[in-house]
Chain A
Amino acid sequence: MLGKTASGIFWLFRYLERAENIARLIETGHRFTLTRNSGRQDEWRSILAALGTDAAYRATHADYNAAQVVDYLLRDKSNPGNLRNLIDSARQNARTTRTAITRELWEAVNECWICVNDGLKRQVREAELPATIDLIERQTAQVRGALENTMLRNDGYNFSRVGNFIERADSMARLLDVKYYVLLPSVSFVGSSLDNIQWETILRSTSAYSAYRWLYPGRASAMGIADFLILDRRFPRSLAFCYGKLTDNLRNLAMSYGVQSASLTEAERIYSSFASLTSASILEDGLHEFLIEFLRVNRNLAAMVEQEYRFNS
């Protein structure tokens, strides 16, 4: 496989994952707007911050008006990372990696692009927002389905998964970092129960709300949520889960290529470090510090994969 092709598939699934995260954050923000009377503007601000676009947003917009933020995230040309652009890039990558993906996967990406472009042709009115978000989520789910059901479990598949989980871990860590003050307004908060509204939004925006309720009925604590979102290997968006998958897929690559892989060694190191952590120790040593360090090693792992498999040179 060409290095360029590996890179193309890797980024195809990073873009797709990123687009899904945006859709989910918008869904959460909108729900918040409907159910709460205060703090709405703050909520949109923290969503922009979790996506790393708050500063850029503020440079061109005066306030955090909901319709304006939603448009900014979905399709505003002043935001290069808007959802429409991400789907466009994903489709462009699928076109350039057409020889390495199945027809079914290509068609799913192409259809996703056609539908999302159609749905975002004009600014989405509030009345249409739920249907639009639903459309985006269904379309990206079809792409994932096509990948799972039709792709050979070869290097192309493994690169797609590596891209997917590096992006997912990155966005989970960012979201937690933006919200850590919600979990821990002060050190004395550790162990006490949380305000219902605040933790609900975090769990909703990671699709963890109902799972968490079942696992920890009636107990919302900073410790419980940190444990679930960072360390729980059953939850498919937790950092530990992502690294479990990353080690699997990087191991598959190293084995099929018959190479000693530095990126695999590094992923294994990070994965095993989760085993020695507890949510109590993370909160004690500082959640923010933990997340900043995690984001750094996660970025570094991406760079190692790129270099090891000759994505660019």
Chain B
Amino acid sequence: MDAMATKPPCFDEMLNEDGTPRAAYAAYHKWFADQDTTHLKQKARDAEEFFRRTGITFAVYGDDDAEERLIPFDIIPRIVTARQWSKVSRGIEQRVRAINAFLQDIYHRQEIVRAGRFPVELLEKNDAFVSQMIGFTPPGGVYTHIVGIDLVRTGPDEFVVLEDNARTPSGVSYMLENRETMMNMFPELFSNIRVRNVSDYPKNLRASLSRVAPPACTGDPVVAVLTPGIHNSAYFEHAFLADQMGAELVEGHDIRIVDGRVAMRTTRGYQPIDVLYRRLDDDYLDPLIFKPESKLGIPGIFDLYRAGKITIANAPGTGIADDKAVYSYMPDIVEFYTGEKPILKNVDTWRCSEKDSLAYVLDHLSELVVKEVHGSGGYGMLIGPAASKRELAEFRAKLVAKPANYIAQPTLALSTIPIFANSSLSPRHVDLRPFVLVSPDKIDITPGGLTRVALRKGSLVVNSSQGGGTKDSWVIEDD
């Protein structure tokens, strides 16, 4: 059978089928047509040089040779119109509100379980469910201060949620630096096209974190960013955000408990921290509660958290909302807590824990994408249509052994946007991760987000750890 025949038709965000530009790209396309390719090639090299010089790098686990790598950056922007964005952002706001209400509920009365809309096993048997959070409400009732919602686009108005990142979403520094780079490379574009600004994110992040100061905070809240250290793959981002917010970047060994407060060692002595933006998983946060061997965390922080002496963002135990089995219930969750139909759809999902679904998944393995329920970063997943016979057989065995560990989804016809490669435009699949800030009175969504692009032709894997790149993402005003 011809391979092309099985490939679902996909939506290109820049061009119509007849090769004319879509409305969002009209102005950009006109500009592009006037550009000289040699000049653009030079700009692409300049952009790479800019990233290298400013040290915007990430570390790859288990990669000795290239300890630090650049995430490839493509100079063609992702463009959506304000009208398209308004629907997406309403959908995100609704979903994030529901996720916070869900977290509040599962750590208190579990109404959703009582109502029979959500299975209790998904909580009880889940490592991401932190029982120490039961009965405790974080300051301002906010669980997920920072959220990233991964979207894919399948048509003109169809944005679908692929994943929720309520634990510690990363990538926002690339969103900000991509824009800086583009404004540096192509200032004339930004004078002519009204692109919504993203650069207020660090300021908003700081303000948002300051609004959830703990009861023990007396003055201006002291915010600090907790990093696992320089060898973490996202260290650049941790340092970047701390710097942009004017907050200290701390590690576990800078911190001690002094007079009942979590305090950092400064050149003037120990200073209490009010809000800790931690970029460390729950497991490592407090060796007294979680992994006892963790050297990265702060022994005793959890007790002080519950006593109102410090705010931890995001709250421990929010990771359960990232679970892919929980994801499959998200439409019910949104409806249960908001009383509204979900604005953004989920991808159809088969829970392999259910007998009929498992049978279906095993029968159609070569057509489906199978993911681990606790996995992230594109690790441990099977893309059926791209897998070899051996890979399929191996995955089949895993599925049969531990069905509850997996969910399966149809292979989506992800939208494409051209990248600039070999002097011409060439379509590649993309996704979009918008970033959301939640404070007690406000949900703030940065217009756009991080567009990740699969650089290999036909590939659907956009993760930077698997060779994906990024694009600047624009929301433009409608004319």
Binding site for B on A (CB under 8 A): 1-6, 92, 95-96, 98-99, 103, 106-107, 110-111, 114, 155, 257, 309-310, 313
Asked whether A3 and B266 contact (CB < 8 A) given A106-B55, A110-B54, the answer is yes
Query: A309's closest neighbor in chain B, by CB?
Result: B267
**B269 an interface residue at 8 Å Cβ cutoff?**
yes
Question: Which residues of chain B from 266 to 302 have any CB-CB distance to chain A below 8 Å in the complex?
Answer: 266-269
In angstroms, how far is the closest chain A Cβ from the Cβ of B226? 12
Docked-complex contact B239 and A98, CB < 8 angstroms: yes
Residues of B within 8 A of A2 (CB): 248-250, 254, 264-267
Is B117 positioned at the interface, with any CB of A under 8 Å from its CB?
no
B265–A99 touching, CB < 8 Å? no
Cβ A310 vs Cβ B265 within 8 A: yes
Which residues from A are CB-within-8-Å of B239? 95-96, 98-99
Which listed residue (A96, A98, A110) contacts B53, Cβ 8 A?
A: A110
Sample (7) of A-B pairs whose CB atoms are under 8 Å apart? A5-B248, A98-B239, A98-B249, A99-B242, A99-B243, A99-B249, A257-B267
Q: Give chain B nearest CB distance to A129 CB in angstroms.
A: 26
Q: Bound complex: CA of A92 vs CA of B236, how far in Å? A: 12
**Count of A-B contacts with CB under 8 A?**
60
A98 and B239 CA atoms in complex are apart in Å by 6
A92 to B249, CA, bound (A): 15
Q: B240 at the A/B interface (Cβ < 8 Å)?
A: yes
A277 to B442 CA separation, bound complex (whole angstroms):
69
Q: Which residue of A lies closest to B244 (CB)?
A: A99
CA distance A309 to B266 in the complex (A): 8
Which of B240, B243, B249, B265 interacts with A3 by CB under 8 Å?
Answer: B265
Q: What CA separation (Å) do A49 and B349 show in the bound complex?
A: 70
Q: How far is the CA of A310 from the CA of B239 in the complex (A)?
A: 21
Closest approach, in angstroms, between the C-beta of A15 and any C-beta of chain B? Answer: 16
Contact of A4 with B254 at beta-carbon distance under 8 Å, contacts A98-B239, A98-B249, A99-B247 already known: yes
Please report B residues at the A interface, Cβ cutoff 8 Å.
Answer: 52-55, 230, 235, 239-240, 242-243, 247-251, 254, 264-269
Query: Contacts A95-B55, A98-B240, A110-B53 given: A310-B249 contact, CB under 8 Å?
Result: no
Q: Which 5 A-B pairs have the closest CB atoms?
A: A98-B239, A309-B267, A99-B243, A110-B55, A3-B265
Q: Which residue of B has the minimal Cβ distance to A103? A: B54
Determine whether the beta carbon of B266 is less than 8 Å from that of A96: no
Residue of A nearest to B246 (CB): A99
Q: Which residue of A lies closest to B271 (CB)?
A: A2
| Chain A residue with Cβ nearest B256 | A313
**Residues of A with C-beta under 8 A to B243:** 98-99
Q: Which residues of B contact A99 (CB under 8 A)?
A: 239, 242-243, 247-249
With A2-B248, A3-B254, A110-B53 known as contacts, the answer to whether A95 contacts B230 (CB < 8 A) is yes
Chain B residues with CB under 8 Å of A92's CB are 230
Q: Which residues of B contact A110 (CB under 8 A)?
A: 53-55
Residues of B within 8 A of A1 (CB): 248, 266-267
Interfacial chain A residues near B54, Cβ < 8 Å? 103, 106-107, 110
- Closest-CB distance, B66 to chain A (whole angstroms): 13
Identify 10 new A-B residue pairs, CB closer than 8 A, beyond the known A96-B249, A98-B242, A309-B267. Answer: A2-B249, A2-B266, A3-B265, A92-B230, A96-B230, A99-B243, A99-B249, A111-B53, A114-B53, A310-B265
Q: Which residues of B have CB within 8 Å of A111?
A: 53
Tell me, rounded to whole Å, the shortest Cβ–Cβ distance linking A88 to chain B. 11
Shortest Cβ gap from B237 to chain A (Å): 11
**A155 engages B267 (CB within 8 Å):** yes
A313 and B54 alpha carbons, distance in the complex (Å): 32
Whether the Cβ atoms of B267 and A3 lie closer than 8 Å is: yes
A107: B residues at CB distance < 8 A:
53-55
CB distance from A161 to the nearest CB of B (A): 15
**How far apart are A2's CB and chain B's nearest CB, in angstroms?**
5
In the assembled complex, which residues on chain A have CB atoms less than 8 Å from the CB atom of B264?
A: 2
Contact call A310/B248, Cβ cutoff below 8 A: no
